[in-house]
Amino acid sequence: MTGELRLHIERLGQDPAPGVATYLLIHGYGASGFTWRHWALQLAQRGHVVQVDMKGFGQSPKPDDGRYAPSDHAELVHKLVDTLGLQSLTVIGHSLGGGVALLTALRLMDAGASCLERLVIVGGAAYEQRLPPFVGLAERPRLGSFLFRLVGAERVVARVLRSIVHDPSGVSPDQVLGYAGPLRSPEAIRALIDTARQIVPADLHMTTGRYKEIDVPTLLLWGRGDRVVPLAVGERLARAMPNARLHVMESCGHLPAEERPDESFAVVARFLDATDC
């Protein structure tokens, strides 16, 4: 429960308890907990896993309240952490979820919380950049909504997925259905558009100036060929954050956890092993 809005979560692995690590997984734009299907099972062997569908995505509510900015998502994630009493926390965020993870870390710091131990940012949105076409389309919401109705969610999703991975032939029908399923309702399309229209906050420069304050061990994981959030963003984050390490995966695009699930998780596992308290 987060205030009056109940975000959909799935919990896996060990029950929360003192000494048990908790992994909070935050997906990216247009996605859901489905993103983490490969990593979540392996993380569940290490501790307690909480997969959250952000407001407007997956199985979470999609209210027409206009509050879909990254700060709005971070506020709800922060409330979720507080409400569930999550401890020994590693926050893992992908793409938009990576930006939300950074904002959540700042909120936890400002609240004086001591629960956050580590961050894993995977191709995370962090600085001003050129928006990818599928996000930029939301600047014309009527066209975007019409496109989904005319073409269908599956065809739109298939085209987007193939445009953001290193090897388009690796995109499977099950993967397309997993992403397209939650995008079939008018409410989901409206939430998708509302999120895209607010994805670059007006005060972004104030947030980016605070990344240097986040001093928990942080893994920055990027695909060399990421065309959604360029590697330059990861390199800039690595310079700004005092306790961050950047790992670049070759022959990989924007979806390391799906394009190279075993290899990418091995990188995460080494980071977790090296930073265990």
Annotate 195-238 with DSSP letters as a single string: HHHTSS-TTHHHHHTTGGG--S-EEEEEETT-SSS-HHHHHHHH
Q: Read off the pLDDT of residues 181-212 as tens digits, 9 standing for 90 and up.
A: 999 898 999 999 999 989 998 889 999 999 99
Q: Is 117 helix (H, G, I), strand (E, B) or coil?
A: strand
Min mean pLDDT across 20-29, 113-122, 154-163, 244-253 is at 154-163
pLDDT number for residue 201:
85
CB-based contact 253:224 (threshold 8 Å): no
Q: Which residues pair with 91 in a beta bridge?
A: 24, 119
Min mean pLDDT across 90-99, 100-109, 140-149 is at 140-149
pLDDT number for residue 188:
92
Q: Which residues pair with 89 in a beta bridge?
A: 22, 116
| Nearest alpha-carbon partner for 2 in 54, 50, 68, 46 | 54
Helix (H) or strand (E) segment spanning residue 25: strand 22-26
CA atoms within 13 A on the CB side of 35: 29
Helix (H) or strand (E) segment spanning residue 12: strand 9-13
Q: Which domains does the chain show, CATH number per domain? A: 9-275 (3.40.50.1820)
Q: What is the pTM of this model?
A: 0.94
Q: How many CB atoms are closer than 10 A to CB 5?
A: 15
User: Cα angle vertex 4, ends 3, 9, to 5°?
Assistant: 75
Q: Is 161 helix (H, G, I), strand (E, B) or coil?
A: helix
Q: Read off the pLDDT of residues 33-85 as tens digits, 9 standing for 90 and up.
A: 999 999 999 999 999 999 999 999 999 999 999 999 999 999 999 999 999 99
Residue that is written with structure tokens 């590693």 in the block: 90
